[in-house]
Structure 1
Amino acid sequence: MNQIGLQRCLFASLLLSAAISGHAMATPTSPAAVDGARISAADNEPGNWMTTGRTYDEQRYSPLKKINDGNVDKLGLAWSYKLDIDRGVEATPIIVDGVMYTTGPFSIVYALDARDGKLLWKYDPQSDRSRAGEACCDAVNRGVAVWNGKVYVGVLDGRLEAIDAKTGQKVWSVDTRTDPSRSITITGAPRIVKGKVIIGNGGAEFGVRGYITAYDAETGKQDWRFFTVPGDPKEMPKGKGMEIAAKTWFGDNYAKQGGGGTVWDSMSYDPELNLLYIGVGNGSSWNPRIRSEGRGDNLFLSSIVAINPDNGEYVWHYQTTPGDAWDYTATAHIMLVDMEINGKQRKVLMQAPKNGFFYVIDRATGELLSAKNFIPINWATGVDMKTGRPIRNEKVSDYWKDPEKKARLIQPAFWGAHDWQPMSYNPATGLVYIPAHIMSAMYQDVEGAPPRSKFKSIYQLDVNTGMMPEDPEGLRKIADTWTGKLIAWDPVKQEARWEVPYSTIFNGGTLSTAGNLVFEGTANGRVVAYTADKGTKVWESPANTGVMAAPVTYEVDGEQYVTFMAGWGGAFSTFAGALSLQAGVKPNAQVLTYKLGGIAKLPALKDRFADRKPEPPKLTGTTAQIDQGRELFNGSCSQCHGINAISGGVVPDLRTLSKENHERFLGIIYGGRIPDGMPSFQGHLDLQQAEAVHQYLIKRAYDLQDQLAAAKKTASK
């Protein structure tokens, strides 16, 4: 039987199961038969997970409780599925009527039988892999949306595509980019509201102007677009939102650089208020002196914005970090909850963005109800409840105003107190479960306004974050200060109820269930369950890779399952490879699904770079040439291969280039290695610069040889 025939049989059996159980299903013989009414009534069929947050309010809470704190220790692997490419995995799977729809690296879409992981179909959008170097944080994707028999995916190279849920064939494709010359990418999951597929874009670090767009789910025709930062100041701003924002920007450099403000992840929707809430990212450039003459709030950077989904018009906004200068994006998970505050029932919006504060906001009006830092911070001392603005500790935070341009240690640093990894909420405990980061870095103003470049990370050019020494001891000291924790946060009292410490940042998103459980994967390769009320660890299993994505739970044929999308990668493991290594994991992209009494075996990890050793030629570069090579490498190559050429294992460690690759170094630099996502640097690095980079890598290869020899000597004692 072929894959399509298998899927038809699957849906026929599901129809029979639904008839027997008495559960209603919308056009059950049709796959992905999801619409707004079905999502709004998701609690009536808790066995499905029909949108990214399970419900429009994005609480990531499941009413399922067959797996609970009393039996979760019997959880075992039910099935696993190996994804095609071993890079970062960040997707939230969608499960509808027994079929799981999910994504892997480079936006490849998979439809799997949710019972046993059998592949029903696979769709590869053939993302332009030469553009992987223009993506901020690895070739990741956070999942699909489904609607009326179609599956929708945002492709890394900027396309939005619709796929037939039955056959896996493309239905339509649109290019979402406003300017193909800019480094506009997509890593986020689409949301669908009232027949409109809504998607934002990434690329603020590479100089783009942020926006979010709605497309007709049936045809792909653009319905509306909302820009998050103003365009050319010489032109009249269009729409109420841009009229408000334009008054908060100064000069014209932001238009040249793009301004930033990309909507690369979080959204949620309130059907009753008919409001779409979006989280807006950081500025381009980071440095407000360069971006906006050091003045203005720079709306709508680092803001939550409420939009009318019918027409894309601005309704209200709340800016978490006015004049953002630290990459404190507000793109973290946004959730909607109805709760009692001071004796009054309120419709609230909650977010824990990078800046370290937990916000509770009236979602009808944008009024700030409360804010409190959930980790230690030093950039601000609190939030002024009259103005809603953070009270900045300017002696620490305002590095761009220092006439001596001294470096300042700021906490949290650019990956923030909480990044894209989703939090969850449990209505029984009233707690929010936050995967938090504890990290700091040095920020230092740098002279001049750098030219926009699709390969250069802007924060490497206009702000010296100075966080990565080359020597192992210096790296160890930094690694000791970069830790994580799972925080159970009381949003009413604005205080932690319980915490679980972790050895590193970038642990996974969370799932909460009616079984009094919180599930989370960890950066050091585990999947774990805690009791939701007290934080007691009640189950743990190895994952054979780091886990960043948030798990989901679902039910088919009366059996409850828990799925983790597992696979190490993303920003931390690429850019900060030297610190990522402390997690002790390797990329291994896979779907891991558990059930009570599961007896499947975890597949062994195969490290594709395990046998690589340094094979450097003679070092001929001068000290000045090697210093230049280090600067060029960290400005142009570190986003993928790691600062100071220390890879976290997602892409090759260039200190271990083979003899043959050293000999053909210029061919690789100028020809690229497109199947792996390595772009050509033709026109970006001249021959002299390319040779400087090569000499730096040769020097780093000898450094690695010395370290390996020292470690071997120590081990033999």
Structure 2
Amino acid sequence: MSLVCGQAALNAAPPEVTSGPVTAVRIIAAADSGWLSYGRTYDEQRFSPLDQINSDNVKQLGLAWHADLDTARGQEATPLVIDGRIFITTAWSKAKAYDAVSGRLLWQYDPKVPGEAAVKACCDVVNRGMAAWGDKVFFGTLDGRLIALNRQTGKLAWSRITVDRTQPYTITGAPRVIDGKVIIGNGGAEMGVRGYITAYDAQTGKQLWRFYTVPDRPGMNQAAYLKAAEKTWNGEWWKLGGGGTVWDAMAYDPALGLLYIGVGNGAPWNQSYRSPGGGDNLYLSSIVAINAKTGAYVWHFQQTPGETWDFTATQHIILADIKIDGKVRKVLMQAPKNGFFYMLDRVTGEFLSAKAYAPMNWATGVDPKTGRPIENPEARYDKTGKPFIGFPGAGGAHSWHPMAYDPGQNTVFIPAQFAAFPYIPAKDWKPAAQGFNNGVDGAAGAMPPVPEVRNGALAATTAALLAWDPVAGKERWRVNYPGPNNGGLLATGGGLVFQGTARGDFVAYSSTDGQRLWSFPAQTGIVAPPITYRIGGQQYVAVLAGWGGVWALAPGLLSQKSGPARNVSRLLVFRLGGKGSLPALDEAFLAPLDPPAAIGSEADIAAGGARYARFCSTCHGDAAIGGGLLPDLRRSALLHDAATWQSVVHDGTLAARGMVSWSKVMSAADIETVRAYVIMRAHQDKALGEK
């Protein structure tokens, strides 16, 4: 079994195009001088044939220049490099352009996303990047806009609201542009929305088509594929949104004219509330092929029928032409959250294979003919009503961080992570007007202040960079990491795989055996994927640094294993012989655990813990242990002053900074019970010796 080289592995590099409008010809030709689309090419392989920087000389790699950013939150964007300029988006959906050689700032654009939009985001106020077409660049904003800017000047060309702003939609993913159509999805399934993806005219912003991923209520006039999906749902799912948001993965085959999208989780997660009585719930947790010109449904493959674990199929999709059993197949590859690595025929959607790339206990395998998972009955907490400690958990065996594929070696590189999650069904659950609406009991699943439990959870939560043989369905080599949330990947013709780590190193590995060949201390965790480009005969490697995302927020104690408790947001650019350096950091300051005297009854504290788990933990950490990106409330001075606590939590005095009022879902008395709970938690951890 051997690889047949695909589009991204031409023996001779295509002629470079150094200026002019971005077109399909330029993106498909994939001139190695630039990086014109999110995955570099429409097939999203994130492989560059550039080999000036290689395994022999990578030790000479040094910092060429860096640019400090004005947003101290998670940085997840893939830069674009077009005609000598590098374009990025940052947290809070800001856009910037630099000279790609000197680092000189050319322009910047702030869409002024209101701080109140942060409450609608599940996983930090991040943005994953831009798309380009013609003379424009395009990106989404956290508050649901699609923005078009003049590429040369950064001036606004047009802006379109793509969501119903009365509902908790967000945009964090990067758009793609296909034949003048800007395609963008959205997020919000944790809060309770209905998923869809939309195409807009690149020149005017006019909406061209919209594709919904879950059906509307029965009796509505909707497309045949949605009417067919109705049969796989029960109850009144449309009142809860249903979920299925398309918040990240897309890939495109120009020869077939097919756009491939990854569809997200259900809303709420717990299927017993979303679709009582079960059902497959199409098209949740599915790969769907769409006619890119018309937006019409073509085929689908569902990875996790009846999804109830937050097992999205929104993870990175890669297209390649591979020889399997003597026959060249046009395949689609994905390593989604559920822990299986899938290969599908991308022409027909035929299931080819699925092999476990991570440990799991929710399923024992897949049916070799249908690809349907063979579930562990105990995993169905939605049916049993009993807690289930699931592996992988809601964080997924692979999250949004992009994979890479080396076509010459026929190897997929996966930023995998291994962590469990306590799925505990919430009793008598009802959706709230604000915050997470997932139908699980976060308070019951919070990490208790018991050293044995904490140490066991820390030991079981790890990660790895996996080199994966997609045909054999097995691991070739791995690099182990102490914790999750390590960065996305880049593979190059120089025999290298680049990845940033949550601990703050930017690393180059040998793509053949995983040997660590070079590293650079970035002073902050790196979660974004790198890129490479060539200008004036010089190859560069660039990456956004800045600790953030869901693992820097919600997991509490586990966040401290994954990465540093600080964010230093920068764009870093490297070249051979680079002599740049980063300024020294001030010593990090962490306020001591010095809580006021305990307040509230046991009943008050228990009620406050339940409210904290549902409304506060997604940003301030499990069991009130901060993940380093936002304030650790156990250490907050607000604990000492009930009036100030109320002004922030109830009245929303810090709304412009993202800390909105919670008066929609909690009264002043309710909010005081949350303070009582956090004070109690601070005393517990101080008693355990934490300072």
Provide TM-score, normalisation by structure 2: 0.95
For residue 672 of structure 2, what is the aligned residue in structure 1?
A: 691
Q: Does the 8 Å contact 2:466/2:477 carry over to 1?
A: yes
Distance 1:358 1:111 in 2: 36
Counterpart amino acid of 2:249? S
Q: Say yes or no: does 1:185 pair with 2:177.
A: no
Task: Identify the residue that residue 557 of structure 2 maps to in structure 1.
Answer: 578
Contact in 1 for aligned 2:144/2:161 (Cα 8 Å): yes
2:622 to 640, 643, 662: 643
Q: Spell out, residue by residue over 1:269-322, the C-alpha distance to the aligned partner (whole angstroms, 9 max, x if none).
A: 000000000000000111111111132100000000000111111000000100
Tell me, yes or no, if the aligned pair for 1:133 and 1:640 is still in contact at 8 Å. Answer: no
Aligned to 2:125: 139
1:533 paired with 2:512, answer yes
Give the partner amino acid of 1:554. Y
Cα drift, residue 415 of structure 1: 1.1
Cα deviation 1:304-352 (Å, max 9, x = unaligned): 0000111111000000100011111000000100010000011000000
Confirm or deny that 1:619 pairs with 2:604: no
* Separation (CA, whole Å) in 2 of partners of 1:59 and 1:384: 28
Match of 1:603 among 583, 606, 610: 583
Q: What per-residue deviation string (whole Å, max 9, x for no partner) do you get for residues 52-95 of structure 1?
A: 00000000000100000000011111111111111111100000
Structure 2 portions without partners, runs of 5+: 1-12
The count of aligned residue pairs is 676
In 2, distance between residues paired with 1:24 and 1:73? 28
Quote the Cα distance in structure 2 between the aligned partners of 1:24 and 1:295.
54
* Residues 1:244 and 1:136: Cα distance change in structure 2 (over 3 Å): same
**Consecutive unaligned residues in structure 1, runs of 5 or more:** 1-20, 713-717
Equivalent residue, structure 1, for 2:546: 567
State the shift of 1:398 in Å: 1.4
- Partner residue, 1:389: 372
391, 397, 405: which is aligned to 1:417? 397
CA contact (8 A) 1:183 1:206 kept: yes
Contact 1:442 1:464 in 2 (8 A): no
TM superposition shift of 1:469: 2.0
- Superposed, which structure 2 residues align to 1:147-226 within 5 Å? 147-177=133-163, 179-226=164-211
Superposed, 1:180-579 pairs within 5 Å as 180-233=165-218, 235-252=219-236, 254-394=237-377, 396-402=378-384, 405-461=385-441, 466=445, 468-471=447-450, 473-579=452-558
List per-residue Cα deviations over 1:455-500 (Å, max 9, x = no partner).
2342545x77725223455323211111000110000111111111
C-alpha distance in 2 between matches for 1:408 and 1:386: 28
Task: String of CA shifts for 1:507-529, please: whole Å, max 9, x gaps.
Answer: 11111000011111111111111
Aligned counterparts of 1:220 and 1:356: Cα–Cα separation in 2: 38
Deviation at 1:661, TM superposition (A): 5.7
Residue number in structure 1 paired with 2:60: 74
Aligned residue in 2 for 1:679? 660
1:511–1:551 CA contact under 8 A, matched in 2: yes
The alpha-carbon deviation at position 543 of structure 1 amounts to 1.2
Percent of aligned pairs with the same residue?
49
**Aligned partners of 1:695, 1:343: CA distance in 2, in Å?**
66
Distance 1:532 1:264, change over 3 A: same
Query: For the structure 1 residues 343 and 464, does the alpha-carbon distance in structure 2 shift closer, same or farther, using more than 3 Å as the test?
Result: farther
- Contact preservation (8 Å) 1:655, 1:704: no
Separation of aligned partners in 2, 1:285 and 1:173: 31
Q: Aligned equivalents of 2:586 and 2:257: distance in 1?
A: 48
Q: CA deviation at 1:450?
A: 1.6
1:25 to 17, 22, 38: 17
For 1:101 and 1:636, the matched residues in 2 are separated by 35
Q: Aligned partner of 1:62: which letter?
A: S
Q: What's 1:12 paired with?
A: none
- Quote the residue 1:129 is aligned against: 115
AA partner of residue 241 (structure 1): Y
- The answer as to whether partners of 2:108 and 2:154 remain within 8 angstroms in 1 is yes
697-706 vs 237-246, which moves further: 697-706
Distance in 1 separating the partners of 2:193 and 2:690: 45
The Cα offsets for residues 437-457 of structure 1, whole Å up to 9 and x where unpaired, read as 111122222322422432234
Deviation at 1:617, TM superposition (A): 3.5
Change over 3 Å in CA distance of 1:223–1:711 after alignment to 2: closer
1-structure distance, mates of 2:344, 2:513: 26
Residue 684 of structure 1 and its aligned partner are, at CA, apart by 2.0
Paired amino acid for 1:675: A
Equivalent residue runs for 1:47-58 within 5 Å: 47-58=33-44
Structure 1 counterpart SS, 2:604: helix
Please give the alpha-carbon distance, in whole angstroms, between the structure 1 residues aligned to 2:124 and 2:463. Answer: 21
The one-letter amino acid of 2:231's match is: K
What per-residue deviation string (whole Å, max 9, x for no partner) do you get for residues 561-593 of structure 1?
Answer: 111111111111111132111234121111111
Say whether the 8 Å CA contact 2:16–2:33 is kept in structure 1. no
| Distance in 1, Cα, partners of 2:162 & 2:349 | 29
Return the alpha-carbon distance in structure 2 between the equivalents of residues 465 and 242 of structure 1.
Answer: 37
Structure 1 residues 592 and 244, CA gap change in structure 2 (3 angstroms): same
- Shift in alpha-carbon separation, 1:242–1:711, aligned structure 2, 3 A: closer
- C-alpha displacement of 1:103: 1.1
The one-letter code sitting in structure 1 at the alignment partner of 2:126 is: V
Matches within 5 A, 1:99-110: 99-110=85-96
Distance in structure 1 (CA, Å) of the matches to 2:497 and 2:631: 35
Q: CA deviation at 1:163?
A: 0.9
Which residue of structure 1 lines up, in the alignment, with residue 23 of structure 2? Answer: 35
2:331 counterpart SS class: strand
Deviation at 1:237, TM superposition (A): 4.9
| Partner secondary structure for residue 312 of structure 2 | coil
- Kindly indicate whether the alpha-carbon contact (under 8 Å) linking 1:205 and 1:459 is maintained by their aligned counterparts in 2: no
Letter in 1 for 2:518: W
**TM superposition score normalised by structure 1:** 0.91
Measure, in 1, the Cα distance between the counterparts of 2:323 and 2:342: 15
Amino acid at match of 1:181: T
Query: What CA RMSD, in Å, does the superposition of the two structures yield over aligned residues?
Result: 1.8
Paired residues of 2:443 and 2:614 also in contact (CA < 8 A):
no
1:515 counterpart letter in structure 2? G
What is the distance in 2 between the residues matched to 1:589 and 1:240?
47
How much does 1:382 deviate? Answer: 1.3
- Alpha-carbon distance in 2 for matches of 1:602, 1:435: 27
* Higher share in helix: 1
Paired amino acid for 1:646: I
Distance in 1 between residues matched to 2:611 and 2:516, nearest whole Å: 46
Compute the displacement of 1:389 (Å): 0.7
| Partner residue, 1:97 | 83
